[in-house]
Structure 1
Amino acid sequence: MMSSSQAAPRRHTRQREAIVRVIQASRGPLAVNDILERAQREHDGLGIATVYRTLKLLLEDGTVRQVILPSGETRYEMSGLGHHHHFQCRRCGEVVDLDVCPVAVLTGTTLAGGYTVEGHELTLYGVCPSCQE
C-alpha cells in the first residue's frame, strides 16, 4: 500500500506519447491548437481537453516548459534545450528556435542603476522564408 505522500506512477498513454513526439519534433515552441492538430494526425479522436491535461502533467514533471511570447501568447517546448531564443514570423505566426544568442550580456552583469542580470529571453520578429516567397 502506498503512503499518502507517494503519488501513483503516471501511465504513459499513446496520446501522451504522441503529444510529446509532436513537441520534440517541432522547430520551435507550439501553441496548444498546433499541438492538437499535429497529434490528431496520429490519434484522430484526440481532444483539446486531453492536450491541456497532458500539458499540465508534462509541466509538473518537467518534461516541457512554457514559453510566453511578448504578445502574452503561451506556447510549449521541451525542457532542457539550453539557452536559446526565438524568431516569430509576423505573417504566419510560426515561432522557431534560434541557434545563436545575439545578446552579449552575461548572467551576473551589473547594469547602470545597480540592476544585476540573472538571465534573458529574446524574441526576434520578421518574415520567415516561406512567407517571403
Structure 2
Amino acid sequence: MTATRSTRQRDVIARVMDDAEGPLAVGDVLTRAQTDLPGLGVATVYRTLKLLTEQGRIHPVTLDGETRYERAGRGHHHHFSCTRCSRVFTLHTCPVALPSGTVYPGGFIVEAHEVTLYGQCPECAQAP
C-alpha cells in the first residue's frame, strides 16, 4: 500500500465522518466510504478511526453497547436512535435542564449528562 493511497483512504473516511448526520458504527463508515473506494477494507477503517480519534477529530460514543464515532467539536448535544432503521441522529436541543454543578437529590453533583431518545425517525414514522 502506498502513502498516496493511504492518504486518499483517510481523506474519504474523514469526509464520511464530517458529512454524517449522527454517530456512525464502523460498518456504516465502511459502507459509505466504499462508495468512493470500493476496495476499502474494514481493517483500514478501524485504523483510520483510531488515528482520527487520537488526532481529536472524532470521538467514540457508546449507544446500546455499540461503539459509534462522530465528529468532535459539535458542542453539547444528545442522540436519537431509531428503533426501526437503527440510524442514530444528533439532536441539538437538550431535553434535560441539568447544568454542570447541579446538586441532584441524594448529594450527587452533576458534571455532565448524556441523553439518548428512542423511537422512530421521521422517515420511518411515515412508512407503512
Does TM-score exceed 0.5, indicating one fold? Answer: yes
User: Which residue of the partner structure matches residue 108 of structure 2?
Assistant: 115
Residue number among 42, 45, 57 corresponding to 1:48 in the alignment? 42
Unaligned runs of 5+ in 2: none
TM-score of the pair, normalised by structure 1: 0.89
Equivalent residue pairs, number: 123
Give me the whole-angstrom Cα distance separating, in 2, the residues matched to 1:99 and 1:79: 14
Q: CA deviation digits over 1:22-68, x for unaligned, max 9?
A: 01111100000000000011111110000000011111111100010
Residue number among 28, 31, 48 corresponding to 1:34 in the alignment? 28
Paired-residue identity, %: 58
Of Structure 1 and Structure 2, the greater helix share is in 2
Unaligned runs of 5+ in 1: 1-9
> Could you say what secondary structure the match of 1:87 adopts?
strand
TM-score of the pair, normalised by structure 2: 0.92
Q: CA deviation digits over 1:80-131, x for unaligned, max 9?
A: 1100000000011010000200100110001111110000000000011121
Give me the whole-angstrom Cα distance separating, in 1, the residues matched to 2:116 and 2:60: 14
Give me the whole-angstrom Cα distance separating, in 1, the residues matched to 2:75 and 2:92: 10
Structure 1 moving runs of 4+ over 3 Å: none
Give me the whole-angstrom Cα distance separating, in 2, the residues matched to 1:25 and 1:56: 18
Q: State the superposition RMSD in angstroms.
A: 1.4
User: Highest Rg: 1 or 2?
Assistant: 1
